[in-house]
Amino acid sequence: MQKLVTNHTGLTDSGRPRVIIIGGGFAGLEIAKALNGFPGETVLFDRYNHHTFQPLLYQVASSGLESSSIIFPFRKRFVKQNDFYFRLGEVISIHPNDNCIETSIGSVKYDYLVIASGATTNYYGMKDVEDNSLPLKSIIDAIKLRNKIIRNFETALLTDDPEMMDSLMDFVIVGGGPTGVELAGALSELKRHVFPRDYKELDMNKMDIHLVESGSRLLGGMSEIASQKALEYLQKMGVHVHLNKAVKSYNGHEAVLNTGDKLVSKTMVWAAGVKVQPFPGISSEALGRGGRIKVDEFNRVKGFENIFAIGDAAIMEGGDPKFPNGHPMMSPPAMQQGQLLAENLKRLQHKQSMKPFRYNDKGSMATVGRNKAVVDLNVFKGQFRFQGLFAWFLWMFVHLISLIGFRNKFFVFFSWIWSYFSYDKSNRLIISRNKEGVS
Amino acid sequence: MQKLVTNHTGLTDSGRPRVIIIGGGFAGLEIAKALNGFPGETVLFDRYNHHTFQPLLYQVASSGLESSSIIFPFRKRFVKQNDFYFRLGEVISIHPNDNCIETSIGSVKYDYLVIASGATTNYYGMKDVEDNSLPLKSIIDAIKLRNKIIRNFETALLTDDPEMMDSLMDFVIVGGGPTGVELAGALSELKRHVFPRDYKELDMNKMDIHLVESGSRLLGGMSEIASQKALEYLQKMGVHVHLNKAVKSYNGHEAVLNTGDKLVSKTMVWAAGVKVQPFPGISSEALGRGGRIKVDEFNRVKGFENIFAIGDAAIMEGGDPKFPNGHPMMSPPAMQQGQLLAENLKRLQHKQSMKPFRYNDKGSMATVGRNKAVVDLNVFKGQFRFQGLFAWFLWMFVHLISLIGFRNKFFVFFSWIWSYFSYDKSNRLIISRNKEGVS
């Protein structure tokens, strides 16, 4: 039987300029959309055939949302955009001298290359943590985590051994950023409202949720008051928050902290840091903190004319006056960079000069649970810090409008209304044949 | 690190009678529900933690529905039912002399055992077909098939080799029952309405859908007119229907039929037959056609006092006057057997005699595409045969009300309305990291 994958991307040279975008996250999706009308080809490479709305992954992992309502097929999004081409594949290396990239489906030439490949989980070299903990960056990570949480409780019914019981019913979340805070809150809602109904045979007081943060406060990127409120909310919800503590080792059953404390759990979620995967072809001199690619104020990679990097993958040191150390690794700067770069590439085509990037920071927000969120807003030349019910509504509104497509917005909206009044999280599903199976 | 799975089901002997149900399909779910109020324990074993609404699996496979809207967590369904216990595990063997079963999570005693384990795909001993084709019995099968269909088209963009192109863009469905007919219809809708938008680079005329049926007509279980209409519909929709032909071999690339015809396709869906997996402990004398367990008119397994079999797993030969050769392997008889057996077990507890099972056949239906369905209805002492738009509405109505839970009904209803007006199937997702990955 013949080999079915060719070494040929199916992209033929049209003679018109070709922009290749690596990665369809927030940054890559925005520039691909904004390149509509660009006099040339737009090619998007991604290892998945869908965009993933990462801010809501934790709700998939905690059975609140179904996977398909927070992901969206790229082809569906770009059905109406001319000269747009999607390719399912991974980029292996970049060859700037030949203006081409090598990918898992063959090599292809570019006129402009846009690296929007985002960041991956950073285990800071701790192999045992990497092997035994779960990340939460992709939809598959979320489904795996959901499978594991539910499976743990099914298994907890089978044991009398108290340590085994702890290991199955306790959870360790590492990293006090939005992901860690939101997941901890969602798990405590499962503990309070859902699992007591599902697992009457178990003593839910035995379920402990640990949130470990090496810094002195949660949500380090936000205001002091937001951090303080998030901590209060989580503690009120029964989450054990460990500040100024770091995980030193984890064998899949017991986590040891730098303070010597030990936490027994079969399930550790690692949301403690990210790094950028280096691409062969981009020299290490071009890399800054966390492996992020150094770019100038036009998001052009240092030392290259036609290679750009945007979003988490890029770090604009000294370029943006208000952010001399680069921009936070969040979706807003990524999206704004994508939009401006699209405009700048069009300007280059029209022999106009590029505009420098200035991040318009409208603030940030995180939710902890029903009626509980924290918001830092920078609008109308003012700073607004508020928490609680209104913040929660604002959080939901902003996330709803940010989802792609009416259908996904509608399903998520309906699921939220439903959960709010039923106190239920309906997708308590193990979709997997093997124990740790994907989905 | 210690082993986390004990050899202990967590079920302690309460002294009250215990009914163990093997399998939560249509039959098992019905009896579990109907046992509400039974003076004793109801224990349901399943290898998944959710019920699967099999009649709509083909819509998940063809991107029309999301997986979570046709599956439902058992625990959620039985939250309010007292003395109900769910266990995630597989039954390994039955030990009638000790009134106990051995399972993947330990052994446990029963007073009444109900085998509702359904049927599995039957490859009639063709190893190569089993290894290279895809079944469509579980939600994971459906997601795998969806992944493969979409991945095939992504890969088809990469080839110039015409045979490779055929292999990727053609589909062979074996079995002209409802699953085969409905899937063939759904694929032809993808070909007509969805893929031309997604894959402008491909020539959709190259996409061929083959439906192979060894009998002389489709939908053998239905009326002649239904078979005839289904054939007309499919042919109008461009499906190549091969009647009186059987697959003799399939190497994952080329299928050879008993007529010598060859069909080139990387994707074969096998819906041509089912068989019942034998349980060690049930002697082969007790097995009838297709390995179905012989039962009397009370669904009691021949030769046992307190072991019963219902649904596809059971065959009631000679028991039901109207169905001397047993009942069709469909959900209605399965559900009716489950309901009656629950009543009979309650009667036994009250020292009353059991009622014999008589299948009330209200008819059957299948859908081929938008506005196209065939219905055989037996109601009001009459036989009604109709096809087309009204049949299609009736099909949708019956399937909607049969789904568990308002939320699933609502999501499916909304998805259908949405697809009807947009001609779209929105879940064109590959949720998988590895090539053939589950989900």
* DSSP secondary structure string for all residues of B77-103: HTTT-TTEEEEE--EEEEEGGGTEEEE
On whether both A182 and A231 belong to a single domain, the answer is: yes
| Chain A partners within 8 Å of B167 (Cβ) | 4
pLDDT, residue A3, reads: 44
Counting the structural domains of chain A, the total is: 2
Residue B431 contacts A, CB cutoff 8 Å:
yes
Residue A9 contacts B, CB cutoff 8 Å:
yes
A198: nearest CB among B71, B79, B438: B79
Which residue in B has a C-alpha nearest to residue A431's C-alpha? B140
Position B383 in a domain = yes
| Chain A partners within 8 Å of B84 (Cβ) | none
| Chain B partners within 8 Å of A405 (Cβ) | 426
Per-residue pLDDT of B38-48, as tens digits, reads: 999 999 999 99
Residue A203 contacts B, CB cutoff 8 Å:
no
Position A241 in a domain = yes
pLDDT, average across residues B326-344: 97
Structure tokens at B180: 């085969």
Q: Single out the residue in A318, A349, A380 at which a domain terminates.
A: A349
Q: What is the DSSP letter of A98?
A: G
Residue B62 contacts A, CB cutoff 8 Å:
no
CATH code where residue A132 lies:
3.50.50.100
Position B183 in a domain = yes
Please tell me the distance in Å from B408's CA to the nearest CA on chain A.
Answer: 10
pLDDT, average across residues B134-160: 96
pLDDT, average across residues B89-118: 96
Position A168 in a domain = yes
* pLDDT class of B12 with cuts at 50, 70, 90: confident
On whether both B186 and B203 belong to a single domain, the answer is: yes
| Chain B partners within 8 Å of A255 (Cβ) | none
Please tell me the distance in Å from A393's CA to the nearest CA on chain B.
Answer: 23
Contact B164 A2 (CB under 8 A): yes
| Cα separation, A267 vs A210, whole angstroms | 11
Element (H, E) at A41: strand A41-46
CATH code where residue B311 lies:
3.50.50.60
On whether both A312 and A328 belong to a single domain, the answer is: yes
Backbone phi and psi for residue B437, each to the nearest 5 degrees, phi listed first: -55, 150
**Other Cβ atoms within 10 Å of A299 Cβ, number:** 28
| Cα separation, A139 vs A24, whole angstroms | 14
Position B161 in a domain = yes
| Chain A partners within 8 Å of B436 (Cβ) | none
On whether both A247 and A336 belong to a single domain, the answer is: no
Which residues lie below 8 Å from residue A422, measured CB to CB, with a gap of 6+?
none
Q: Single out the residue in B290, B318, B349 at which a domain terminates.
A: B349
Residue A285 contacts B, CB cutoff 8 Å:
no
On whether both B160 and B268 belong to a single domain, the answer is: yes
Domain hosting A303: range is: 18-47+89-119+276-349
**Other Cβ atoms within 10 Å of A31 Cβ, number:** 32
Q: Single out the residue in A289, A316, A349 at which a domain terminates.
A: A349
Please tell me the distance in Å from B48's CA to the nearest CA on chain A.
Answer: 7
| Chain A partners within 8 Å of B431 (Cβ) | 67, 71, 139-140, 143, 439
Residue A68 contacts B, CB cutoff 8 Å:
yes
Q: What is the DSSP letter of A295?
A: B
| Chain A partners within 8 Å of B414 (Cβ) | 410-411
On whether both A149 and A251 belong to a single domain, the answer is: yes
On whether both B144 and B259 belong to a single domain, the answer is: yes
| Cα separation, B168 vs A187, whole angstroms | 43
On whether both B227 and B174 belong to a single domain, the answer is: yes
On whether both B133 and B113 belong to a single domain, the answer is: no
B68: nearest CB among A427, A433, A437: A427
Contact call for residues B66 and A66 (beta carbons, < 8 A): yes
Model pTM score: 0.94
Position A380 in a domain = yes
On whether both B283 and B220 belong to a single domain, the answer is: no
| Cα separation, B72 vs B417, whole angstroms | 22
Residue B76 contacts A, CB cutoff 8 Å:
yes
The tens-digit pLDDT sequence of chain A (439 residues) is 344 444 678 898 888 999 999 999 999 999 999 999 999 999 999 999 999 999 999 999 999 999 999 999 999 999 999 999 999 999 999 999 999 999 999 999 999 999 999 999 999 999 999 999 999 999 999 999 999 999 999 999 999 899 999 999 999 999 999 999 999 999 999 999 999 999 999 999 999 999 999 999 999 999 999 999 999 999 999 999 999 999 999 999 999 999 999 999 999 999 999 999 999 999 999 999 999 999 999 999 999 999 999 999 999 998 899 999 999 999 999 999 999 999 999 999 999 999 999 999 999 999 999 999 999 999 888 889 999 999 999 999 999 999 999 999 999 999 999 998 888 888 999 988 765 443 3
pLDDT, residue B434, reads: 60
Please tell me the distance in Å from A72's CA to the nearest CA on chain B.
Answer: 8
| Chain A partners within 8 Å of B416 (Cβ) | none
CB-based burial of residue B332 (10 Å sphere; 0-12 exposed, 13-18 middle, 19+ buried)?
middle
On whether both A249 and A158 belong to a single domain, the answer is: yes
pLDDT, residue A423, reads: 87
Contact B155 A266 (CB under 8 A): no
pLDDT, residue A410, reads: 93
Residue B417 contacts A, CB cutoff 8 Å:
no
pLDDT, residue A434, reads: 60
Portion 33-52 of B in contact with A at CB < 8 A: 48-50
Position B406 in a domain = yes
Position B432 in a domain = no
Portion 119-158 of A in contact with B at CB < 8 A: 139-140, 143, 150-151, 154-155, 157-158
On whether both A200 and A257 belong to a single domain, the answer is: yes
